[in-house]
Chain A
């Protein structure tokens, strides 16, 4: 089955840029979505289809993808950005949804 790999944790200084990666076999051929989950809350979509930002999500959040990994970038990190972040794809060959293991972002 398809797997997505994320770093378990990423730290960023307040006001700096955080980058969270998501790796998977031939991920360049898949469409990646990103979710933010604050403690005790349900996940919220922050980036869809690799690079698109839903309405209401700050411009500080952006997404990109190369052939080997997708990346969620959070610019000018704020304390409120501390959360777990998950990448996700839909594996059309199996009709299964796949999540990465999640990355805990800490803002120092």
Chain B
């Protein structure tokens, strides 16, 4: 079955960077964009950006431009998202999700989430 499995929880200090991985299985990795969405505790879903695994093209929400880097390793079907310059406001669960319909933006399935805690 189509599945996305993310890396484990991270604890980082303010100013540091974090890199979260998302390993895909059950489909051809290069055929579908990977999106990243985060959720602070008790808050809603916040879209961060997308990456086309085939050509490496990316797009990010305005507030994350310049601070988020999305990459991939096609040989191991894995997408990565790195966030730099962490502050306490970046403490959240980060999800990767496959955009299963390019035109409508439907995203399915989602990874299990990775908790990133930023604390001094």
Measured CB to CB, the residues of A under 8 A from B are 1, 31, 33, 35, 37, 42-45, 48-49, 54, 84, 86, 88-90, 92, 95-102
Contacts and interface: CB of A to CB of B under 8 A. Distances in A.
B35 interface: yes
B44 A42 contact: no
B112 A42 contact: yes
B104 A43 contact: no
B108 A48 contact: yes
B29 interface: no
Given A43-B95, A44-B110, A99 B105 contact: no
By secondary structure, the B interface counts as strand
Contact of B105 (A1, A42, A44, A97): A97
A33 B107 contact: yes
Given A43-B45, A98-B47, A102-B45, A90 B105 contact: yes
Contact of A95 (B44, B59, B111): B59
Contact of B108 (A1, A45, A96, A99): A45
Contacts of A90: 103-105
B17 to A, nearest CB: 24
B110 A43 contact: yes
B47 A96 contact: yes
Given A42-B110, A42-B111, A42-B113, A33 B104 contact: yes
B105 A31 contact: yes
A107 B37 CA distance: 27
B100 to A, nearest CB: 8
28 contacts: A1-B62, A31-B106, A33-B105, A33-B106, A33-B107, A37-B45, A42-B110, A42-B111, A42-B113, A43-B45, A43-B110, A45-B106, A45-B107, A45-B109, A48-B108, A49-B106, A54-B108, A88-B105, A89-B105, A90-B105, A92-B103, A95-B50, A97-B47, A97-B50, A98-B47, A99-B47, A100-B44, A102-B44
